[in-house]
């Protein structure tokens, strides 16, 4: 992604590597299953923001088993791996042990063990004292040596038979030079290039980025070896290199002069952190004439993050549902939809522990002001129930019930009801059912004794539309490397199945809307709904192309379908 006007380029390979994603998914699945307490032996990955988020989910890092007094719960082997002796100690302590070692690190373990069993010495090209390297040494049967580079390799004694491996995040040029130095002093030398492909791709792009930049900003944890290595690599190719953990480490005076700024990130750096750094760089490089546009962007961001936009989308969907049912628009029912959705949006975001917010900014805002957010959620929720009571008992009872269930969702584990509403994809499905109820069922309950074809079509349309909406927002969250668990369909079922299922739903939806329009059944509603479905299909095509909107723009684009449908339905009555 390049902003040509501001000269800022973000590396495509910036963000979590596959091994980091797998480790995080593993511990999230444990947390969602209700197992507690959960500990990781050392930080799961070297990134302070991720560790903070995991701690908010009661997943805590310990330096050793001695810190766990009762030896109960789950102990997780982190992505860097451990020595065989350390793993044996863990498995003998009585706790449940879960191995979240990166599969590519496991591969290096196996390579070292295979040659060590044949009597080979092992030379590991990497950082002595790094968690991964310590674990690798444990498989060398006491005959392992660490060399940081070719200079250190040249100082090693001669070997009879030696296997040279690499720390998985090592600079490939450094590794090959060190391996050649060992080869020259060995009778038999096997070189096992165990640098992972993601690291090679990241380093290759970083070299290209640094070669064409006046300044490179590397984003990542100060304790991350691969992030530090990226900074070193850039330092040899670019006159100015800055390593930052977040946008708060940037100095605005550094950002104005360079004509071209490149931004990359380590394998353990979440995408949302890098996005914040890029946004801060862009803001610092804007001239005074763009200040008004920046204010507009911030105002729109507040409008989205406040939950008002999502609630407005629910109002629009309620209006469309009433038109599907052949009823006149009722402002009281639309107000009920706004209050109901806004209330539950506030409560869930306040207590979701960073899992489902559409961007990290939103998560931070909601948690810094949690009491105010909860007060707003409770107040609007009480108003929604009170308004339902004014509309009659057949509205009041289901609204009160569904609002209570929505309030309970963030606390499902504490309330011991997780088995009922805590299954793979639960968040997406519960959201769709909640919106379907308040936008389609409430108008039907209020105006009729039973459901007819219009009611059922309205309900089906709303539930499917909101389900697709929720899944798309979940994909955006994952693409920003937010900590999202299996309550999202995308994380539970995988990208291929999820995108195929969304395509099938949208195409089926478009098909029956075409049939309705061709048979003259409420064309003023069916045709606008068909246009909106086409809009979402276009969005899905962008998702297929990996051009996924994130943060504020994710909700802007995805929820925009409901505003578009409502406007078209409203305009249709004047065009008929």
Q: Which residues are catalytic?
A: 132
Residue with tokens 């049939």, as numbered in its chain? 515
HEC string for 326-371? CCCCCHHHHHHHHHHHHHHHHHHHHHCCCCCCCCHHHHHHHHHCHH
Spatial strand order of the sheet with 8-10 comes to 2-3, 8-10, 261-265, 215-219, 241-244
Measured distance CA(54)–CA(349) in Å, rounded? 16
Question: Nearest 5 degrees, angle CA 447-CA 448-CA 451?
Answer: 125
Determine the Cα–Cα distance for residues 320 and 566; give it in Å rounded to an integer.
6
Sheet strand arrangement including 74-77: 59-62, 38-41, 74-77, 96-99
- Nearest residue to 458 via CA among 324, 336, 334: 324
- Cβ contacts of residue 252 below 8 Å, gap of 6+? 284
Closest among 93, 57, 54 to 75, alpha carbons compared: 93
Per the CB < 8 A criterion, the answer to whether 273 and 14 are in contact is no
549-576 in b/e form (b: 16+ CB < 10 A) is bbbbbbbbbbbbbbbbbbebbbebeeee
Q: Determine whether 67 is exposed, middle or buried from the number of CB atoms within 10 Å of its CB (0-12, 13-18, 19+).
A: exposed
CA distance 168 to 381: 51
247 Cβ contact partners less than 8 Å away, ≥ 6 residues apart = 276, 277, 279, 280
């Amino acid at each position: 992604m390049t902003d040509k006007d501001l000269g800022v380029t973000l590396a495509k390979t910036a963000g979590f590597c596959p091994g980091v994603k797998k480790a995080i998914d593993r511990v999230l699945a444990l947390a969602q299953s209700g197992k507690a307490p959960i500990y990781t032996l050392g930080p799961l990955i070297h990134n302070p923001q991720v560790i903070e988020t995991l701690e908010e989910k009661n997943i805590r890092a310990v330096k050793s088993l001695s810190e766990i007094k009762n030896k109960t719960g789950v102990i997780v082997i982190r992505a860097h791996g451990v020595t065989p002796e350390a793993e044996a100690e863990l498995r003998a302590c009585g706790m449940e042990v879960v191995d979240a070692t990166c599969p590519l690190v496991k591969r290096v373990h196996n390579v070292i063990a295979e040659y060590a069993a044949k009597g080979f010495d092992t030379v590991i090209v990497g950082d002595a004292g790094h968690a991964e390297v310590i674990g690798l040494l444990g498989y060398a049967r006491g005959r392992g040596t660490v060399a940081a580079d070719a200079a250190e390799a040249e100082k090693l004694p001669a070997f009879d038979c030696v296997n040279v491996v690499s720390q998985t995040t090592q600079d490939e040029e450094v590794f090959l030079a060190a391996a050649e130095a060992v080869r020259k002093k060995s009778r038999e030398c096997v070189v096992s290039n165990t640098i992972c492909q993601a690291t090679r791709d990241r380093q290759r792009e970083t070299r290209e980025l640094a070669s064409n930049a006046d300044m490179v900003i590397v984003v990542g944890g100060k304790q991350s070896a691969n992030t530090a290595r990226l900074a070193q690599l850039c330092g040899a190719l670019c006159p100015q290199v800055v390593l930052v953990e977040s946008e708060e480490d940037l100095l605005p005076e550094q950002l104005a002069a360079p004509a071209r700024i490149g931004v990359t990130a380590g394998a353990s750096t979440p995408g949302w952190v890098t996005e914040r750094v890029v946004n801060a760089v862009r803001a610092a490089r804007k001239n005074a004439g763009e200040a008004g546009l920046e204010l507009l962007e911030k105002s729109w961001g507040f409008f989205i993050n406040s939950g008002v936009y999502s609630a407005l989308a629910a109002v629009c969907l309620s209006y469309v549902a009433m038109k599907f049912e052949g009823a006149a628009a009722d402002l009281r029912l639309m107000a009920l939809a706004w209050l109901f959705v806004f209330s539950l949006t506030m409560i869930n975001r306040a207590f979701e522990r960073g899992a489902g917010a559409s961007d990290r900014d939103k998560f931070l805002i909601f948690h810094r002001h949690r009491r105010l957010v909860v007060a707003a959620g409770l107040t609007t929720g009480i108003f929604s129930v009170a308004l339902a009571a004014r509309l009659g008992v057949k509205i009041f009872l289901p609204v009160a019930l569904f609002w209570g269930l929505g309030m309970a969702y963030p606390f499902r584990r504490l309330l011991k009801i997780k088995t009922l509403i805590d299954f793979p994809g639960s968040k997406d499905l519960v959201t769709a059912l909640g919106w379907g109820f308040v936008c389609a069922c409430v108008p039907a309950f209020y105006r009729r004794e039973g459901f007819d074809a219009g009611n059922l079509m309205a309900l089906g349309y709303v539930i499917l539309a909101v389900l697709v909406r929720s899944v798309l927002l979940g994909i955006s969250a994952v693409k920003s490397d937010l900590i999202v668990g299996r309550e999202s369909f995308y994380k539970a079922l995988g990208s291929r199945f999820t995108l195929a299922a969304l395509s099938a739903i949208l195409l089926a939806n478009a098909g029956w809307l075409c049939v309705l329009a061709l048979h003259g059944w409420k064309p003023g509603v069916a045709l606008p709904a068909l246009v909106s479905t086409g809009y979402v299909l276009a969005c899905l095509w962008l998702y297929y192309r990996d051009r996924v909107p994130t943060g504020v723009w994710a909700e802007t684009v995805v929820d925009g379908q409901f505003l578009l449908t409502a406007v078209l339905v409203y305009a249709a009555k004047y065009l008929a």
